[in-house]
Structure 1
Amino acid sequence: MFVAGTSAKGKRIPLLEAELLRWVGSGDSLLELACLDALFPPGKFLRPVLCMESAKAVGGTADQVLAFAAGIECLHVASLVHDDIIDQDPVRRGRASTAEQYGLAEALVAGDGLSMAGIAALLSGGPAEHVLQAARVTVDALRHMCQGFMRETEIRGDLACGVPTVLDVMQAKTAALTGAACQAGAILAGATPKQHQALRQYGEQLGMAFQIRDDLLPYTAEDQVTGKTATSDVANLQPTLPVLLAYEAADETDRNRLATVFRGGTDPVIAHRDILAVLTHTGALTKAAEMASSCAEQARAELVGLPGSTHLAELATSAADRQR
């Protein structure tokens, strides 16, 4: 039998872990084991926590949305399993990715299995009208996520794609689902349209802050802290926000240095070192960090008039400042 990790804080997270086990299983089959291995040890549980905290912000309770929150986490982790396959990344959360540990075919099936468990959890209970509306919001966000993944593959190696393009990818890949998690939690708790729209905007801005920081981490933190491979984006010739900010601001010498890396063929460790030097020269790291802080501030502004949103405000601050 699979045993969940114990790294979570407070009562909310153990309840969520138990709910995930309820929907995914206890590890009695290879499918369940692969799914649970992807889920545990858990990451930050950002999306389910946002769902539960948004319900509380409009006068509801975490219990009202617990199953839905677990469903969102299953769907999110399914996307990570498939993302690691796309990127051929052997590391996730500081250890072997699902594909690396179980095999490519098994990881594909595990991602599908998590998706099906997630959908079942989303639709499991509550007032039918609220559940249907919240599910529609979530599924629409997942469709945007798929579009973001595909667009990301299209711009590999393209330093001329521009900052607006990569911001659109971030909006689709990350911000859409964080916004949906907040809006869905509020809807399920009986929020007014004004309230759940404000929480959606909050979640999207928080998601942008979170993703901008995520793009910075390969250049500002150690692998053992982030739990990821710092050279993954470089190896995949993925033009992330700080790289494109640097390219815009760079002189001819630094632009040529970036162009050399993004033509491919450079050892990823050397490429990472060269990119870091250009990011430092151009001030791109500072600019990106400022953009993350601006998104976090916009997120906090959306919480005005929601007295139960103190924890949501704290999450916005931590998303902009995080180092892992």
Structure 2
Amino acid sequence: MTTTPGLHPADAAQSSWDSRTVNELVAGELGRLVGAEEDLMGVACRDALLPPGKLLRPRLCMWSAAAVGGRMEQILSFAAGLECMHVATLMHDDVVDRAPERRGRPSSAEHFGISVALMAGDGLASTAYEAMLASTDAGLPDPRVVRATRTVAAAVKRTVAAIAEETLVREDLSCTLTKVLEIIRGKTGALFGAACQAGAILADAPAAHEDALRIFGEELGMAFQIRDDLLPYIGAAESGGLTDVANRQPTVPVLLARDATSAQDLDRLQELFLDDSDTVTAHRLLAQILTGSGAVDQAAEMARGYAAKAREALAELPPSQARDALEALTVTLVDP
């Protein structure tokens, strides 16, 4: 990659790697990774992976690398592997949640059946590790690639543990807010943080910058998930965004409403977690209670607070366009 004289290395990389460009490159790499096999597993993996979603984790990885002077073209395979891993966890999560839809289409479990969805998820997880380890083919030293891959593996363990904990609090309105925030940190924050930390590791960043990017990613993941849990109640949920309502999952806005609502609405809320109301009715009643109690505004403010912590972590990094791109996510993901 040629570098413009006087331009910070991260700026040289980022100048031609905006959000759209990164997404297009990652999508192309994902297509290469899953191939064109027409067997059942190949079809199921492609169906879950393509067309891709927001590709947040690949972007976080590549921009984190660029923010500490890394060459993003060397990170592409690793970043695509992160998306494979993320989608694999979604496929398994949809089985656990009995979710009929994902990204506006039938979930893998709904489309292909539970058995195929589980096996295809395992297949994508294997593809993820192959892609990450293949970063050595782009000239990255083996020790860095291995350490970055181990970082992701540790985060996936945290994610799986958090998903398991989430099932234990389902329909439990007595669950503490602290417990749910711990689950979010493991389920979403861990892989966000690992994506950023891995980018720093692959770019051979100083320990202080690596730690700052890990903190940035985890706090951004917290903000993103709290905002995502709000979507069913603010009219911005994608199709399939009512799974938590259907499962009576005690999300952050629900627990904030529990602690702030009137005695009458608290009784209604408790009834919703005990009866068999259909999802549409439950959603309508929950939206009324959450809005009336101020929980929607309170949860939105909580998300902004975590986003602010993420921005604070970035102050450790030198100024660059890549750092600016990361900082912009703390706004667009929380107040789109």
Provide TM-score, normalisation by structure 1. Answer: 0.93
C-alpha deviation, 1:267, in angstroms: 1.8
Match of 1:54 among 64, 76, 82: 64
CA offset digits 1:276-316 (Å, max 9, x no partner) = 11101110000000011111111111111331201000111
Of 271, 276, 283, 1:260 maps to 271
Residue 38 of structure 1 corresponds to which residue in structure 2?
A: 48
Q: Which amino acid aligns with 2:240?
A: K
Distance in 1, Cα, partners of 2:187 & 2:194: 12
Deviations 1:120-140 (A, max 9, x none): 111112211111211111111
Alignment of 1:110-259 (within 5 A): 110-124=120-134, 125=136, 126-223=140-237, 226-230=238-242, 232-259=243-270
Between the aligned partners of 1:194 and 1:229, the Cα distance in structure 2 is 38
1:273 maps to what in 2?
284
CA distance in 2, matches of 1:192, 1:297: 23
Q: CA–CA distance in 1 between the matches of 2:72 and 2:62?
A: 5
Task: Please give the alpha-carbon distance, in whole angstroms, between the structure 2 residues aligned to 1:205 and 1:297.
Answer: 8
Instruction: Give the aligned partner of residue 5 of structure 1.
Output: none
Query: Aligned partners of 2:19, 2:79: CA distance in 1, in Å?
Result: 16
Letter in 1 for 2:33: W
Equivalent residues of 1:23, 1:117 under 8 A apart: yes
Give structure 1 stretches of 5+ with no counterpart: 1-7
Q: Counterparts of 2:271 and 2:128 in 1: how far apart (Å)?
A: 43
Contact map agreement 1:237 1:264 (CA 8 A) in 2: no
Give the superposition deviation at 1:261.
0.5
Instruction: Kindly state the Cα deviation for residue 248 of structure 1 after the two structures are TM-superposed.
Output: 0.8
Of residues 266-275 and 191-200 in structure 1, the stretch that sits farther from structure 2 once superposed is 266-275
Q: Is the 8 A contact 1:89 1:229 kept in 2?
A: no
Q: Find out whether 1:104 has 2:114 as its counterpart.
A: yes
Q: Percent identity?
A: 48
Letter in 2 for 1:129: P
In 1: Cα distance, 2:87 partner to 2:275 partner: 30
Alpha-carbon distance in 2 for matches of 1:295, 1:163:
15
**Paired position in structure 1 for 2:84:** 74
1:196-243 deviation digits (Å, cap 9, x = unpaired): 1100000011101100011000111245xx23242x112111111000
Contact 1:27/1:36 (<8 A) preserved = no
**Alpha-carbon displacement from aligned partner over 1:93-142 (angstroms, at most 9, x marks no partner):** 11111111112211111111100000111111221111121111111110
The aligned residue for residue 330 of structure 2 is 316
Distance in structure 2 (CA, Å) of the matches to 1:194 and 1:176:
18
Which letter does structure 2 place at the counterpart of 1:185? G
TM-align CA RMSD: 1.3
> Is 1:307 matched with 2:316?
no
Check whether the contact 1:64–1:189 (CA below 8 A) recurs between aligned residues. Answer: no
Contact 1:210 1:292 in 2 (8 A): yes
Structure 2 length-normalised TM: 0.90
Residue 254 of structure 1 and its aligned partner are, at CA, apart by 1.1
Shift of 1:89: 1.0
